[in-house]
């Protein structure tokens, strides 16, 4: 049965193969490079796809012993967790009001939040740097924790709004007849039903703040406050010298936490995206 | 009970009291979002407009000089080159993304329709580039193109050329193509339009890839608006001029927002 179906679908497998290979290859390449010895990395005769001399963890131990990589990893985690938490709380409240409650200016506000969603971070980073400095947050992790929600809240609000709309009104109305306030209905009835949507928004926000680069590279400059991406890129590329093995090791380690999160939550994520729809 | 009453008589009840309890709750709920957006998006936007029309430098907000900054930029060779780069980059990157993305989406739809094995695995692989920090994966690409030790070089040297299998077995003559052109594509149009508009914003405002790959060099020939703004505004310290460069994204952005809003209104009406 399955075999026959697969055989008939052979063209589909052949068609998807180049995509899968070209998406996998850079990742494979990163991992292999990060495990190779320098003598082999810079050997023109060596076959680049596999090891000849044997794998080594030297690049990884260099990261932890000779650079502040552990600090950057910690900073990234703190920034991503806090900014995501702040953004999700703000967004859940706003999205519930916009999706369910009637108030003057609601539609205008919804449209405005959507417009902000489309504002790229690179449009306002120079004046925002001034604001950060005026708030006395210049060159600290807090600069990032405070500014990341500006691009997280708009999309999370929109995602959650469309998700909340798919929940039948009767659920919260019966809760409110039973004496719940709006906040009570939101916390006890709407949120538990909307878990896939909230998880999707959280995961998406977490990924965006984990991988954010431009604010991180412009607002923070001292080694002890840096996050992963800027730390690796600014301190392992010294002038024209690239520490390829270490750079790739940093990229691999930087992807692992997100990869684990997705492995655990992939099904929620897909269902949340398609039901809420970032359309 | 109050909901039932409010539903039965919309408007009336609201007008009599200044703010209904429902509206009061709503304002309370949106307050944090509004406050944050006003302070960290609205105010910086106003500041951007001021900076772009001022002669501000680092540590000195300068004074208003009018549009002189913007017109001077338009006359500069580096800035013209940057505008050209941005246009070429946006057009090619978006077309390639759309064509490949559409092809992949159609293939995946086939996988879903026939409930084929390995669908989950393939989906996971497609998410892979999204989880690797862009800044770092870009470094990976640079390593692949590294002139001396690159893997691409190695392959080219060994094989002489890349053979690409392009003719996939045809299933049903020309009819799938016709079906795609006349049925699938028109149905996909609203989604496709949204995707195009979003990718345009993303590429016009891109920073990471250029910052990591070339830093705008050699001789400032590969800048995009964002990297040039960073270079001029924050590295050199002419924040007024830097803000002006960033602000050149705004007209494109406004056109895109306008179309996007119109697209969504049409969808709501359905």
Inter-chain touch A150–B30, beta carbons under 8 Å: no
Supply the angle between the helices B134-145 and A244-276 in degrees, to the nearest 10: 130
- Supply the pLDDT for residue A149: 96
Task: Tell me the Ramachandran region of residue A138: left when phi exceeds 0, alpha when psi lies from -120 to 50, beta otherwise.
Answer: beta
- Give the best residue of A127, A204, A249 to mutate against chain B (max B CB count within 10 A): A127
Q: CB–CB of B133 and A2 under 8 A? A: no
- By the CB < 8 Å criterion, does A210 face chain B? yes
Which of A:179-198 have CB within 8 Å of B?
181-183
- Mean pLDDT lowest for which of A12-21, A195-204, B9-18? B9-18
Band the pLDDT of B166: cuts 50, 70, 90. Answer: very low
> Residue A153's closest CA among B152, B37, B96?
B37
Q: Where are the domains of chain A?
A: 15-56, 68-276
* A68-276 CATH fold: MetI-like fold (1.10.3720)
Three-state DSSP class for residue B213? helix
Distance from the Cα of A98 to chain B's closest Cα (Å) equals 8
Report residue A238: phi and psi, to 5°: -110, 100
pLDDT classification of A192: cutoffs 50, 70, 90: confident
Give contacts of B171 with chain A, Cβ < 8 Å: 11
B-chain residue closest to A174, CA distance: B1
In this predicted structure, the answer to whether residue B45 has a pLDDT above a threshold of 60 is yes
Residues of B in contact with A11 (CB under 8 A): 168-169, 171
For residue A103, give the nearest of B27, B103, B165 by CB distance.
B27
- How far are the Cα atoms of B43, B106, B116 from residue B110, in angstroms, in the given order? 48, 6, 9
Would the CB atoms of B25 and A232 count as touching at under 8 Å? no
Asked if residues B30 and A109 have their Cβ atoms less than 8 Å apart, the reply is: yes
Query: Burial of A88 by CB count in 10 Å (0-12 exposed, 13-18 middle, 19+ buried)?
Result: buried
pLDDT at A137: 94
SS3 B64: strand
**Per-residue pLDDT tens over the stretch A93-138:** 999 999 989 899 998 999 899 889 888 999 999 999 999 999 999 8
The mean pLDDT value of chain B amounts to: 77
Q: Do B131 and A9 touch (CB under 8 A)?
A: no
Record: contact A213-B171, CB cut-off 8 A? no
pLDDT-derived band at A277 (thresholds 50, 70, 90) equals very low
The verdict on a CB contact (< 8 Å) between B246 and A122 is yes
| Phi, psi (degrees; rounded to nearest 5) at A179 | 105, 10
Within 10 angstroms of residue B181's Cβ, the number of other Cβ atoms is 10
Does residue B31 contact residue B24 with C-beta atoms inside 8 Å? Answer: no
pLDDT of residue B267: 55
Question: Which residue of chain B has the CA closest to A43?
Answer: B149
Nearest to B30 among A94, A111, A176 (CB): A94
- Both tokens of A189, joined, read 């009835």
Partner B contacted by A10 (CB < 8 A): yes
Q: Look up the ipTM and state it.
A: 0.85
Tokens, residue B30: 């949106």
Q: Which residues pair with A237 in a beta bridge?
A: A242
CB-based contact B249 A120, cutoff 8 Å: yes
* pLDDT above 70 coverage of chain A, percent: 94
| Percent of chain B's residues with pLDDT above 90 | 27
CA dist., res. A150 & res. B38, Å (int): 10
Among A42-46, A220-224, B147-151, the least confident range: B147-151
Asked whether the predicted pLDDT for residue A193 surpasses 50, the reply is yes
pLDDT at B12 over 50: no
pLDDT confidence of residue A8: 77
pLDDT at position B249 is 92
Interchain contact, B104 vs A16, CB within 8 Å: yes
Q: Which of B209, B228, B229 is nearest to B220 (CA)?
A: B228
Interface test with A, best of B9, B23, B30 (most A CBs within 10 A): B30
Report which of residues A163 and B217 the model is more confident about.
A163
Interface residue A248 vs chain B (CB under 8 A): yes
Q: Does residue A187 register a pLDDT over 90?
A: no
User: What average pLDDT score do residues B4-17 get?
Assistant: 48
Backbone angles phi, psi at A207, to 5 degrees: -60, -45
Q: What is the DSSP code string of chain A? A: -HHHHHHHTHHHHHHHHHHHHHHHHHHHHHHHHHHS-HHHHT-TTS-TTS-SS----HHHHHHHHHSSHHHHHHHHHHHHHHHHHHHHHHHHHHHHHHHH---TTHHHHHHHHHHHHTS-HHHHHHHHHHHHHHTT-TTSHHHHHHHTHHHHHHHHHHHHHHHHHTS-HHHHHHHHHTT--HHHHIIIIIHHHTHHHHHHHHHHHHHHHHH--HHHHHH--SGGG--HHHHHHHHSEETTEE-HHHHHHHHHHHHHHHHHHHHHHHHHHHHHHHHH---
Please list every residue in chain B whose beta carbon sits closer than 8 Å to the beta carbon of residue A41: 149
Residues of chain A with C-beta less than 8 angstroms from the C-beta of B126 = 19, 23
Give the pLDDT mean for B120-132: 77
Q: Which of B41, B203, B217, B266 is most worth mutating to test chain A (most A CB atoms within 10 A of its CB)?
A: B41
Q: Which of A218, A262, A279 sits opposite B131 (nearest CB)?
A: A262
Mean pLDDT on A83-101: 95
Q: Domains plus CATH for chain B?
A: 68-164+188-269 (1.10.3720.10)
Selected residue with higher pLDDT from A123 and B179 = A123
pLDDT of residue B211: 87
Among A44, A116, A177, beta carbon nearest to B41: A116
Average pLDDT over residues B166-193: 62
Q: Which of B247, B246, B240, B245 is nearest to B59 (CA)?
A: B240
Averaged confidence pLDDT in chain A? 87
Interface test with B, best of A16, A268, A270 (most B CBs within 10 A): A16
Asked if the Cβ–Cβ distance from B143 to A244 is below 8 Å, we say yes
Q: Is A3 on the interface with B (CB under 8 A)?
A: no
SS3 state of residue B114: helix
Burial class (CB in 10 A: 0-12, 13-18, 19+), B199: middle
Q: How many CB atoms lie within 10 A of CB A276?
A: 24
């Amino acid at each position: 049965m399955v075999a026959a179906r697969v055989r008939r679908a052979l063209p589909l497998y052949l068609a998807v193969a180049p995509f899968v290979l070209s998406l996998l290859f850079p990742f494979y390449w990163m991992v292999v490079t990060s495990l190779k010895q320098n003598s082999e990395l810079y050997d023109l005769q060596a076959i680049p796809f596999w090891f000849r001399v044997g794998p080594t963890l030297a690049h990884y131990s260099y990261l932890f012993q000779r650079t502040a990589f552990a600090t950057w990893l910690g900073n990234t985690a703190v920034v991503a967790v806090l900014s995501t938490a702040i953004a999700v709380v703000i967004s859940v409240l706003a999205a519930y009001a916009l999706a369910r409650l009637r108030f003057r200016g609601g539609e205008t506000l919804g449209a405005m939040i959507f417009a902000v969603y489309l504002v790229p971070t690179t449009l306002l980073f120079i004046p925002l740097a001034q604001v950060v400095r005026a708030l006395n947050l210049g060159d600290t992790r807090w600069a990032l924790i405070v500014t990341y929600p500006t691009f997280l809240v708009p999309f999370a609000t929109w995602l959650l709004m469309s998700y909340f709309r798919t929940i039948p009104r009767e659920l919260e109305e019966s809760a409110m007849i039973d004496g719940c306030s709006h906040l009570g209905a939101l916390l006890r009835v709407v949120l538990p039903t909307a878990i896939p949507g909230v998880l999707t928004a959280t995961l998406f926000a977490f990924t965006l703040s984990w991988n954010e680069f431009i604010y991180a590279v412009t607002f923070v400059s001292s080694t002890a406050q840096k996050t992963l991406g800027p730390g690796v890129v600014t301190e392992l590329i010294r002038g024209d010298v690239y520490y390829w093995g270490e750079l790739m090791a940093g990229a691999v380690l930087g992807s692992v936490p997100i990869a684990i999160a997705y492995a655990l939550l992939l099904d929620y994520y897909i269902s949340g995206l398609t039901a809420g729809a970032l359309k | 009970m109050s909901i039932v009453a409010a539903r039965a008589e919309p408007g009336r009840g609201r007008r009599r009291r200044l703010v209904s309890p429902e509206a009061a709750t709503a304002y309370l709920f949106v307050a944090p979002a509004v406050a944050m957006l006003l302070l960290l998006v609205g105010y910086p936007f106003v500041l951007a407009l001021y900076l772009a029309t001022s002669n501000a430098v680092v540590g000195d907000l300068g004074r208003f000089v009018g549009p002189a900054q913007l017109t001077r930029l338009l006359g500069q060779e580096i800035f013209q080159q940057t505008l050209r780069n941005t246009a070429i980059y946006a057009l090619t990157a978006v077309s390639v993304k759309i064509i490949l993305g559409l092809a992949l989406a159609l293939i995946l739809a086939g996988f879903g329709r026939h409930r084929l094995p390995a669908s989950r695995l393939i989906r996971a692989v497609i998410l892979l580039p999204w989880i690797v920090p862009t800044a770092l994966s870009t470094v990976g690409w640079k390593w692949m193109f590294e002139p001396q030790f690159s893997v691409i070089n190695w392959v080219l040297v060994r094989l002489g050329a890349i053979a690409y299998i392009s003719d996939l077995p045809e299933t049903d003559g020309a009819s799938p193509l016709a079906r795609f052109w006349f049925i699938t594509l028109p149905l996909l149009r609203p989604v496709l339009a949204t995707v195009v508009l979003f990718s345009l914003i993303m590429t016009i405002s891109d920073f990471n890839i250029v910052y990591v790959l070339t830093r705008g060099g050699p001789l400032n020939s590969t800048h995009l608006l964002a990297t040039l703004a960073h270079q001029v505004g924050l590295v050199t310290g002419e924040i007024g001029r830097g803000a002006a460069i960033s602000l050149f994204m705004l007209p494109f952005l406004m056109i895109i927002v306008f179309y996007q809003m119109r697209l969504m209104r049409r969808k709501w009406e359905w």
